[in-house]
Homo-oligomer: A and B are copies of this chain.
Amino acid sequence: MINARVTVTLKNGVLDPQGKAIEGALGSLGFEGVGQVRQGKVFEVSLETTDSAEATVQLTAMCEKLLANTVIENYAVEIL
């Protein structure tokens, strides 16, 4: 059993209205010195395989096919 974490973030240059809203909200709450905020997604996936190389291959395929929109998003696969 392998646990992995997949992080999907917007590519640089892609507008992130949700991040902008959070920046504004943090300012309203009195947090000073906040620069950019960008929001992404994280997936915690458990796989039945015990081979971490195979798991990485499988998770990369999952990102390409479902978890990330590779036109506007980057992804990172991390075996825990």
Of B31, B36, B43, the residue contacting A62 (CB under 8 A) is B31
Over the window 45-80 of chain A, the binary record of Cβ atoms lying under 8 Å from chain B Cβ atoms (1 yes, 0 no) is: 111110000000010011001110000000000000
Number of chain copies forming the complex:
2
Whether A38 lies near B29 (C-beta < 8 A) is no
Interface contact A40-B29, CB-CB below 8 Å: no
A40-B44 contact, Cβ under 8 Å, with A1-B35, A26-B62, A65-B29: yes
Docked complex Cα distance between A78 and B61 (Å):
27
> Which residues 8-44 of A sit at the B interface, judged by CB distance below 8 A?
9, 19, 22, 25-26, 29, 31, 33-44
Interface residues of A (CB under 8 A from B): 1, 7, 9, 19, 22, 25-26, 29, 31, 33-49, 58, 61-62, 65-67
